[in-house]
Amino acid sequence: FKSVTFEDSLFKNCVFEDITSVNTYFRNCTFVNTTFYNTDFEQYKFVGSELINCTFYHIRTGCQISFDDDYSAYWIYFVNFLGTLAVLPGNIVSALLMDRIGRLTMLG
């Protein structure tokens, strides 16, 4: 889950397994007979929620990878484009030198 907020929801006989959550919160939710296995749901993510007969197994702790909400694919492609653009002058100079002094000399 990424940046999901559940409000006033009922989770009955559910199994949450192998879930990583970033900025995910449960507000005023009710969990009945729910099992949490290998998740990173800690106590602070359940704001005003009621847990009835719930079981937690293998809770992950520590720092989870998170990116800001405004970190999008656009920036990844833009930075890649700038890196490719930075190499362009070197490629042009290499091509001109190769024609001028020869390929074998340039390779040497």
Per-residue pLDDT, averaged over 104-108, amounts to 81
* Total tally of structural domains belonging to the chain: 2
100: domain range? 71-107
Between CA 2 and CA 82, with CA 73 as vertex, the angle to 5 degrees is 145
pTM of this structure: 0.57
**What is the tens place of the pLDDT at every residue in 10-36?**
999 999 998 888 888 999 999 999 999
**What is the tens place of the pLDDT at every residue in 37-85?**
999 888 889 999 999 999 999 888 766 555 555 566 777 888 889 999 9
Alpha-carbon gap, residue 64 to 56, rounded angstroms: 18
CATH code of the domain in which 27 resides: 2.160.20.80
Per-residue pLDDT, averaged over 87-103, amounts to 89
